[in-house]
Structure 1
């Protein structure tokens, strides 16, 4: 339960601090402009939080620069000849209006979106997002199975959902991982990198040196895939803050 919210000012940087009933401090930098939030244990004093943030200033500035310079997709209108991506490949949308249940199909370089006449933009978006989500749900199990035996870990369940600030997350206590629906648009190797990244957290919950060593051991090219994800355009969002 949240007990206190405050703002720490460090020169030109405003940091929102939320004290919660948690054990460890968490620092996040949010798109699109790099807003900084800290979730801190109730017992952590303001001075301790300030020292912690100061120690992370270099990392914060790096993340803010990356977020502010990353290319973003234009808002989607879901009209003919609009570009959409599946596993990193570009497809031109073809909206096929007919009196039948909605569907999505890939044919050569076209993505055919079949909808009933008069279907709204929001409904078209929902149909495509559900298709991407199902596509991921069909693809991820084989990756998890492959890496479970290789890494010696066990994923209990995985979830696919829209995530504004992360490609994935891992609950080390439940053994569950969550994956961003947007990964269905990126190269398959990038999805596999995120799956391995989250599974590695079952061995090491934090991003410390041991975690880096584990990633180097299991996927030596992981930095290349990370850069690829950071280079590719990300989804346009109406950020609600």
Structure 2
């Protein structure tokens, strides 16, 4: 990976055996990554980036405006999110590890010797179960509406994407962090990834398909972009 500067924007350039150039603006700080075909000249790459400067700066401004959560220590009094709402975390000692939503709080019970990392894992497992329960009917519903079929739908933490789709294999991944965002954000990402099974690129056909199946998708995308970003030690 090479680092180049165009104007006042520094970006990471990756050359890959692909047909088209792709520009990505990555959270949380708006780092720019360009994936370019192996034979594309440096001049052509620079021209492509210059044409997208306004869009790049808009994306970076959106990230800069997003609120950030503080570093998670997994202790009583922290605010953790579920479906767009903040809940106070209560950490208690118990004979087994479990998490419950009780009295407007997230109550996490763990053994006396549990570390913050272990409590984080307990909470992540709880989040994963909740997200999976909501994902399954939504996937079924939207596959039927759109007329596609994913070969696999998985959940994992991803640092730079809310979701991903490999149209060649039909495999879809959803970011575990979606469980913390308003429910319409999850629906937007599910529809977005399923539509990629019909159209690989973010072109006019893709946008038309999104508009056909989920007319409010630009509104849902804005909601997702305004939601608090999780604290993380991001790396690229």
TM-score between the two structures when normalised by the length of structure 2:
0.95
Q: CA deviation at 1:97?
A: 0.5
Contact 1:25/1:40 (<8 A) preserved: yes
- 1:136 paired residue among 128, 131, 147: 131
Query: Matches of residues 163-174 of structure 1 in structure 2 within 5 Å?
Result: 163-174=158-169
User: Residue in 2 aligned with 1:179?
Assistant: 174
Of 201, 204, 221 in structure 1, the residue corresponding to residue 216 of structure 2 is 221
Instruction: Find the residue that maps to 1:106 and give its secondary structure.
Output: strand
Residues 1:55 and 2:46 are matched in the alignment = no
Q: Give me the CA root mean square deviation.
A: 1.4
Structure 1 residues 126-145: Cα deviation after superposition (integer angstroms, max 9, x where no partner): 11112212221222110010
* Distance (whole Å) between structure 1 residues aligned to residue 124 and residue 219 of structure 2: 27
Pair 1:204 & 2:191 matched: no
Q: 2:9 is matched with which residue: 9, 13, 20? A: 13
State how many pairs are aligned: 236
Q: Secondary structure at the match of 1:59?
A: helix
TM norm structure 1: 0.93
Aligned to 1:224, the other structure's residue is in SS state helix
Match of 2:29 in 1: 33
Which of residues 68, 73, 83 in structure 2 aligns to 1:87?
83
Deviation at 1:118, TM superposition (A): 2.5
1:147 deviates by 0.7
**Hey, what's the Cα distance between the residues in 1 that align with 2:64 and 2:224?**
15
Give the aligned partner of residue 110 of structure 1: 105
- 1:77 maps to 73
Q: Name 2:38's counterpart in structure 1.
A: 42
The CA distance in 2 between the partners of 1:95 and 1:183, in whole Å, is 23
SS in 2 for 1:64: helix
Structure 2 unmatched ranges of 5 or more: none
1:91-139 Cα offsets, whole Å, 9 max, x none, are 2211120232x11111130111110002111111111112212221222
8 Å CA contact 1:73–1:233 kept in 2: the answer is yes
CA distance in 2, matches of 1:31, 1:189: 20
User: What SS does structure 2 have at the residue aligned with 1:92?
Assistant: strand
CA distance in 1, matches of 2:7, 2:78: 44
1:7 deviates by: 3.1
Could you tell me whether the CA contact under 8 Å between 1:90 and 1:109 is conserved in 2? no
